[in-house]
Amino acid sequence: MTHFAAVLLFALFASTVFGITMRETPRRMVRYGIYCFVLFVGAAIVLSWVMYCIAR
């Protein structure tokens, strides 16, 4: 398993639980879940590039 695949799996599972537990209606659950997923993956990509630039 690649590191990025691990990030995607982690984001998928965590954002599913966050979406269900933090919002009340199904529509808002889905929206919040997608929002968390994008933030997880986006933050991982941005931080990876930051670390890459620092290391060079």
Partner 1 sequence: MATEEKKDVATEQGFVYLPLIAGWLVPGGGHFLLRKWGRGALLAASILGMFVTGLAMQGKLHSNPHDILDILSLVGDLGNGLLYFIGRLLGLGADQVQTTVGDYGTRFIVVAGLLNVIAAVDAHNLRTGRKS
List residues near partner 1 by CB under 8 A: 1, 3, 6, 9-10, 12-14, 16-18, 20-21, 24
Q: Pick the closer one to partner 1 by CB: 21 or 56.
A: 21
The DSSP code for 1 is -
Q: Pick the closer one to partner 1 by CB: 17 or 38.
A: 17
Selection from 20, 46, 52 nearest residue 33 by Cα = 20
DSSP H stretches of helix in 1-56: 3-22, 26-55
Smallest distance from partner 1 to CB 37, Å: 12
